[in-house]
Amino acid sequence: MRYIEPIKSWLLIFLVALSLFLTFRIWTYTPDYGVIEEKEVEEIIIGEQTQLSNVIRPYKLVFKGDEAWRGTVSTTNIDNVLQSMKDWHLSNVSLVTDEFTPNQLNELVRTKDHVTMIFAEEIPMTLFQEFFKMDLQRMPSISFDRLIIEWNAKAKVARAYFVNVKQQQLYEASITMTAPSLDERVLKEIIMNATEYTEIEREDTTSLYVIKNNVETVHYTYHTGEVSIDKFVRSLFSDYSSINKQVNSAASEQYEGASEKMDVNPLRREFKYVNPRGQDEQLADAELIRETFRFINATGSFTGDFRYVYGDGYEAKYQLFVQGFPVYSEDSSTTISLSMRDGRPYQYNRPYYTLDIADMKVEALMSGARVINILRKQNPELLEQMNDLVVGYMLRHTENSRIFVLEPSWFVLQGEEYVRIDPLMTGGVASGLE
């Protein structure tokens, strides 16, 4: 028994030493984690990116010379004018009046040597830095749907007039051109090659500017391709691994995540995506255009010549154009519509086909002036209420699901709605399209 106490003492010393040793090891231990390989986040690229100036283009330019009117919807012509404007300096923006009547606007447009750009929707001034160099201390919070340039090649200072038709506002600004002679040559060449137009005056409302003679158009036949719907799914859904896909029929597929949903119609080649999370938020027009443009453009998803045509603070719409003409359809979608919540898409509806020309043939349409005369007899009320008369394309499917045709036709623009004019003019006005 006499050895028990010494043994306890030595055991206690051993345990204390062991405890100190283990504590020291824990404090000084550095685990060998090895090399942790970062997983590369997949970047979804659908097509080529574009510039904001390409989606807020005017859809029509009209020029008033000594006597004749000329106009153009050619993308090339419009882009050449806009390219010349990039070297112009805009300054001294000021309000002229907020009671600018339609008759006063008509007088301004028909003034000699004035160039008028017509937009489908109001464009915030803050976005026009894409076109002009702004020499302004503070950017005015205004919007416009007509831009009128008072052209004077002999002077280095010209005038710009910004018109908001709905709000009856007229703003003016000074323009300084760095190369007025060169800009004049560009504009004169465009005017010489432009189509002859005519002014259609209407009582107490804005005039219409339409093609004076018969129109030579092109009837297109397209072999269509498509963007893989999986690319859109990967770019939209927050958790691709948890998506449930369900095929209901040849015309209906569904993709569902935790809260997101996409309905796909493979026959029409369009989809509707919704993500109900987040709060409703109304954006200023400029912010709405920027946010929706950035999201669509980030993956190169402007898969054609899409242009901004509508915004209400919640939703922006971009319309498909071909060769400067808008495209409408009852067989498929021809618009991209997008609303945002908390910087993410809330509702996103669009087509996912692409157009590759297979065949084309020249086709004649009657003049805009003749269409106006027929409307004046058959539907004078529509003539007074319409916003514009434009040449556009009706996209139709054929029996071969891979082939679409684009048929040229006249369309009445009335708010967001486009009404097709019956090509044979036997029934006057055909169905309305949105």
Out of 174-183, 295-304, 324-333, 366-375, which region has the weakest mean confidence (pLDDT)?
174-183
CA distances from 100 to 22, 106, 162, 201 (A): 87, 10, 11, 17
Q: What is the mean pLDDT of residues 360-381?
A: 92
Higher pLDDT among residues 81 and 185, named by residue: 81
Backbone conformation region of residue 168, classed left if phi is above 0, alpha if psi is from -120 to 50, else beta: left
Higher pLDDT among residues 426 and 122, named by residue: 122
Handedness of CA 122, 205, 63, 133 (dihedral sign): negative
pLDDT at 431: 42
pLDDT at 42: 53
**Six token digits for residue 314:** 């919640």
Q: What is the mean pLDDT of residues 388-416?
A: 93
Q: Does 155 score more than 70 pLDDT?
A: no
Higher pLDDT among residues 40 and 12, named by residue: 12
Higher pLDDT among residues 426 and 119, named by residue: 119
The residue assigned the tokens 């750009």 is: 117
Q: What is the pLDDT of residues 323-338, one digit of tens each?
A: 999 999 999 999 999 9
Residues contacting 154, CB < 8 A, separation 6+:
none
pLDDT at 148: 96
pLDDT at 37: 40
End-to-end CA distance of the chain: 104
Q: What is the mean pLDDT of residues 88-94?
A: 89
pLDDT at 370: 93
Q: Where in the chain is the domain with CATH 3.30.310.160?
A: 213-434
Instruction: Please state, in angstroms and rounded to a whole number, the distance separating the CA atoms of residues 208 and 190.
Output: 21
CB 420 within 8 A of CB 430: yes
Tell me whether strands 305-311 and 353-365 are parallel, antiparallel or unpaired.
unpaired
Q: What is the pTM of this model?
A: 0.86
Q: Does 35 score more than 50 pLDDT?
A: no
| Range among 30-39, 135-144, 401-410 rated most confident | 401-410
Question: What average pLDDT does the structure give for the chain?
Answer: 86
CB 84 within 8 A of CB 187: yes
| β-strand partners of 322 | 325
Could you give the percent of the chain with pLDDT greater than 70?
85
Q: What is the pLDDT of residues 204-260, one digit of tens each?
A: 999 999 999 999 999 999 999 999 999 999 999 988 888 999 999 989 999 999 889
pLDDT at 27: 57
Instruction: Please state, in angstroms and rounded to a whole number, the distance separating the CA atoms of residues 15 and 136.
Output: 80
Instruction: Please state, in angstroms and rounded to a whole number, the distance separating the CA atoms of residues 192 and 152.
Output: 17
Q: Does 81 score more than 70 pLDDT?
A: yes
Amino acid at 332: S
Other beta carbons within 10 Å of 48: 9
With CA atoms as reference, report the closest residue to 84 among 190, 182, 192, 188.
182
Tell me whether strands 215-226 and 208-211 are parallel, antiparallel or unpaired.
unpaired
Higher pLDDT among residues 76 and 27, named by residue: 76
pLDDT at 350: 97
| β-strand partners of 244 | 256
Helical ranges in 299-432 per DSSP H: 368-378, 380-385
Q: How confident is the model at residue 17 (pLDDT cuts 50, 70, 90)?
A: low
pLDDT at 13: 65
CA distances from 119 to 300, 312, 327, 349 (A): 24, 16, 16, 23
Q: Which CATH architecture has domain 213-434?
A: 2-Layer Sandwich (3.30)
